[in-house]
Amino acid sequence: MSAKVASNGQVASNDKVPSNGPVPSNGKVALVTGVTGQDGAYLADLLLEKGYTVHGIKRRSSSFNTGRIEHIYQDPHDPDLRFILHYGDMTDATNLIRIVQQCQPDEIYNLAAQSHVQVSFETPEYTANADALGTLRLLEAVRILGLERKTRFYQASTSELYGLVQETPQRETTPFYPRSPYAAAKLYAYWIVVNYREAYGMHASNGILFNHESPLRGETFVTRKITRAAAAIKLGRQQKLYLGNLDAKRDWGHAREYVRGMWLMLQQDEPDDYVLATGVTTSVRSFAEWAFEDVGIRIEWRGHGVEEKGIDAETGRVLVEVDPRYFRPTEVDLLIGDPSKAHAKLGWKHETPVRELVREMVREDLKVMQSAVITKDA
Ligand code: NDP
Ligand code: GDR
């Protein structure tokens, strides 16, 4: 994958950047909430490439928040306008109704959310409002406007629903046991989507997606935090990386591949719920070890629990320390998904192994940081 640095320093995906002119329209309209996020950016790319007209909802922000979609921005005066941004918020029902009415979407992808698990412990009410009630508001907008037979609906559900381990690997039939305000809010969203499907015959599907990452991943999620730190430490711009629970295990895939799965779910004759995962799990510790390996540093782990440290095997410098502030009040210890239903019914399969994902993320972070150093020097 290639990537470019947007004006805010964010890496923007430009692999397969759609050239809006030549791609013939497929006559379909999609609405993407959360279009400024990691998945929103990859999904907008994919939909534009397929000839959709894409409407995206972005939040009003006092600072620039469109870095990930800068490369597909179109002047609103463009006669062949395919990418249209609307100001909006999942906490404002009137605004959602107006946007859905304006764009009359064939497909809605509901990706907007307060998506940070740890932050949800600090802002539980807001998280419930945006993630749980926000989903209800959007479904109601479709119903109020009489679009329930026209508009297909994708809900960004999550492996966090599984929470406390009940069985592994986790699949569509595994019982849910949410372990955070975020997961509890997403549990409501999951079930209200199922309910609107059953009550009103809506083509509404849940994608139960396991962690997926990329160079566009938000900087406070553990993978990107690690890959940025490895790059920064290598370039002498950071001394140490502080992490929380090194033992947590996640099933990490590549975001670009997961948004294709979202699209596939809405192309099926019948709505349904699907797990997207790789079927491989990795600890935070191993992820960090690999990221440092990719900048030429071999890490050795010494000590246990909060005393554990990651040490540069060559120089003896402490590069990774545990900081309990990053521990969560309740943790999800182990996620490993079984994507066989998606394989069989959607023909979806992940392609990028986690080791390659780490390599790509480190490479892109090194590029971004090196160009920042050059700019600063200049
Ligand atoms: P991001 O955090 O990168 O993006 C979230 C998006 O939602 C951003 O565009 C953000 O806007 C927007 N948003 C947040 N709050 C509101 C609000 N109140 N009203 C309108 N927009 C809002 O998340 P991802 O792209 O990684 O994830 C997309 C979705 O998938 C989320 O719902 C997430 O919970 C879910 N998910 C993600 C997984 C992952 O591993 N990435 C796995 C499973 C589910 P802004 O840019 O202004 O902050
Ligand atoms: P997660 O992602 O909670 O799985 O939610 P995150 O990267 O935040 O945490 C993964 C695991 O790493 C541990 N961890 C740390 N996490 C962060 N953020 N920072 C640290 O310093 C740190 N140290 C250890 C965490 O405790 C956790 O166990 C993501 C989000 O994208 C959700 O929106 C999505 O629903 C799930 O993935 C699937």
State if pTM tops 0.90: yes
Compute the chain's Rg from CA coordinates: 21
According to CATH, the superfamily of the domain at 3-216+252-280+332-353 is NAD(P)-binding Rossmann-like Domain (3.40.50.720)
CB of 115 sitting under 6 A from ligand 2:
yes
198-228 tens-digit pLDDT: 999 999 999 999 999 999 999 999 999 999 9
Q: Please check whether residue 42 is in contact with residue 261, taking contact to mean a CB–CB distance below 8 angstroms.
A: no
Which pLDDT belongs to residue 22?
67
Name the residue of 187, 212, 250 whose CB sits within 8 Å of the most ligand 2 atoms, as the mutation to test its pocket: 250
Q: Is residue 15's pLDDT more than 80? A: no
Q: Is residue 5's pLDDT more than 60? A: no
117 C-alpha to center of ligand 2: Å? 7
66-103 tens-digit pLDDT: 999 999 999 999 999 999 999 999 999 999 999 999 99
Instruction: Indicate which residue of 160, 289, 360, 364 is catalytic.
Output: 160
3-class secondary structure for the chain? CCEEECCCCCEEECCCCCCCCCCCCCCCEEEEECCCCHHHHHHHHHHHHCCCEEEEEECCCCCCCCHHHHHHCCCCCCCCCCEEEEECCCCCHHHHHHHHHHHCCCEEEECCCCCCHHHHHHCHHHHHHHHHHHHHHHHHHHHHCCCCCCCEEEEEEEHHHCCCCCCCCECCCCCCCCCCHHHHHHHHHHHHHHHHHHHHCCCEEEEEECCEECCCCCCCCHHHHHHHHHHHHHCCCCCCEEECCCCCEECCEEHHHHHHHHHHHHCCCCCCEEEECCCCCEEHHHHHHHHHHCCCCCEEEECCHHHCEEEECCCCCEEEEECHHHCCCCCCCECCECCHHHHHHHCCCCCCCHHHHHHHHHHHHHHHHHHHHHHHHC
State mean pLDDT over 260-287.
Answer: 98
**Straight-line distance from the first to the last Cα atom of the chain, in angstroms, rounded to the nearest whole number:** 27
103-115 tens-digit pLDDT: 999 999 999 999 9
Active site residue 53: no
224 C-alpha to center of ligand 2: Å? 10
Which pLDDT belongs to residue 256?
98
Domain boundaries, the chain: 3-216+252-280+332-353
State mean pLDDT over 4-16.
Answer: 41
Give 330's strand partners: none
265 C-alpha to center of ligand 2: Å? 25
Q: Is residue 8's pLDDT more than 90? A: no
Active site residue 160: yes
Active site residue 91: no
Q: How confident is the model at residue 333 (pLDDT cuts 50, 70, 90)?
A: very high
Ligand nearest, relative to CA of residue 246: 2
Nearest protein Cα to ligand 2, atom 4: 211
Instruction: Indicate which residue of 33, 158, 174, 223 is catalytic.
Output: 158
Half-sphere exposure in the Cβ direction for 337 (13 Å, CA)? 28
132-160 tens-digit pLDDT: 999 999 999 999 999 999 999 999 999 99
State mean pLDDT over 339-349.
Answer: 98
- Residues 205-222: b if buried by 16+ CB within 10 A, e if exposed: bbbbbbbbbbbbbeeebb
State mean pLDDT over 238-255.
Answer: 98
